Structure 1
Amino acid sequence: MPTAAGACSRLCIPGDPVIVPAPLPADSGRDPLWRPEQQFTSTQLAAPRRRWLLDDGSLTARLVALDAGAFSVRRLYQGWQVPLPSEQRLLQVPARQRALVREVLLRLDGQAVVFARSVFPISSLNGELAHLRKLQHRSLGAILFRYPGMQRSPFELARLSGHSAYMAPWVRQEVPAWARRSCFDIRGKRLLVSEVFLQEFTPWDASLAVHRSRRGTVSAAIHRIKQ
């Protein structure tokens, strides 16, 4: 007899319990419960969302390639603050050391589709990366993917409540949102980027036309964005 998604792989017999993953609760805390991507089942994370959330290419380039309206960045906040505990762990910074935190909206045709939070340790903001202090309304992704040898860590994912304190108050919503984060390493300088896909993000089923391995295509896409 057929088994339900997530059930045991052996042949089930009448009376056997069918194991189905419980619905994933939405996290409303200031520092969400982030989990490695491998811990999410196909039931919890459907294929269209998995393709977007686990793709390690430039999200900026992919949004531009959708041709769904003009891409723009709106900076909401930038300032020095102590990172959240889980951010300190990933960035390996002392518990009370301040870092530069930047929060922005990624927009298509003026509509916010992604809320992004970036954390820059002070030790990463010198030398060739000092200019990241003054991004203003420019896309961080349009800059990071230009660096040869840039490394990106595996993703951690979270399912956020629409009213999660992790998001800026003016972008909170009535429905839960998927979020992802990863560390970038540029010649030993680390920074953390998280992205929350808002309810207005609708192209889950759109094909991903640009892949990180096609760096020429990525560069062409991001260079079209006004700096």
Structure 2
Amino acid sequence: MPAAAGACSRLCISGDPVIVPASLPADSGRDPRWRPEQRFTSAELAAPCRRWLLDDGSLTARLIALEAGAFSVRRLYQGWQVPLPSEQHLLQVPARQRALVREVLLQLDSQAVVFARSVFPISSLSGELAHLRKLQNRSLGAILFRYPGMQRSPFELARLGGDSAYIAPWVKQTVPAWARRSCFSISGKRLLVSEVFLQGFTPWEASLAVHRSQRGTVNAAIHGVKQ
């Protein structure tokens, strides 16, 4: 892979170069090494990557705005299982308590561009959020951003190997991938969403405004989540 300026290399996604750090090892573990953005150096998290990785708008809306093809969601898995240790910590659920886990592909013209994993504690799937049990092939993000009181925790980031055990087996690729995750809080109920940007993903070219109608404010005041 050819070297780029500084400590980064260029990873080609759909023909467009995306700068990724050559010095940052890819994580192939089932529970990746997630880190807050503040723990990445400027060389590890270069400006072009930072722009879209930390974008706080609705990812669904961003993908649709790319006009790169028809947007769709393909559900790969949904079932009850014990969350990964770091997921238990962020969601503050007991160690052996099961949660509803959903894994999907976000697609543009049937090409996978993002692998997303959502974890719903059983205590969060009641009342106004009970319908999240039956999302089928609908976009979770498109629903979450409609809640006026929704709060979102600061992002944690990870660099995954293309063969990372965190990614569904049928979504493996030969190049590393950036991933991010954050907790959403609605009426005191939490859920965790992670997004892995696959080889088919093309970043948007400029910083985009976060419209208030999207309700996507990153709020570090979601108490109890220790980075």
Q: Distance in 1 between matches of 2:183 and 2:215?
A: 23
Moved over 3 A (4+): none
- Match among 195, 215, 221 for residue 213 of structure 2: 215
Number of the residue aligned with 1:131: 131
Return the offset for 1:22: 7.5
Amino acid at match of 1:87: E
Return the offset for 1:24: 0.3
Tell me the number of residue pairs that the alignment of Structure 1 and Structure 2 aligns. 199
Describe how 1:70-219 pairs up with structure 2 within 5 A: 70-202=70-202, 204-209=203-208, 211-215=209-213
Contiguous gaps of at least 5 residues in structure 2: 8-20, 217-227
Number of the residue aligned with 2:66: 66
Q: Distance in 2 between matches of 1:147 and 1:217?
A: 7
Q: Compared with structure 1, are the counterparts of its residues 59 and 188 closer, same or farther at alpha carbon in structure 2 (3 Å cutoff)?
A: same
Q: Is the 8 A contact 2:71 2:109 kept in 1?
A: yes
Tell me the alpha carbon deviations over residues 121-171 of structure 1, each in whole angstroms, 9 at most, x when there is no partner. 000000000000000000000000000110000000000010000000000
Contiguous gaps of at least 5 residues in structure 1: 7-20, 219-227
Q: Distance in 2 between matches of 1:142 and 1:205?
A: 18
Return the offset for 1:207: 2.3
Tell me the alpha carbon deviations over residues 32-75 of structure 1, each in whole angstroms, 9 at most, x when there is no partner. 00001111122112222111110111000000111111100000
Return the offset for 1:214: 3.6
Q: Is the 8 A contact 1:184 1:192 kept in 2?
A: yes
Q: Which has the higher strand share?
A: 2
Q: Once superposed, what is the RMSD of the aligned Cα atoms?
A: 1.9
Q: Is the 8 A contact 1:75 1:104 kept in 2?
A: yes
Q: Distance in 1 between matches of 2:128 and 2:105?
A: 25
Q: TM-score, normalised by structure 1?
A: 0.83
Q: Compared with structure 1, are the counterparts of its residues 24 and 30 closer, same or farther at alpha carbon in structure 2 (3 Å cutoff)?
A: same
Amino acid at match of 1:62: R
Amino acid at match of 1:111: Q
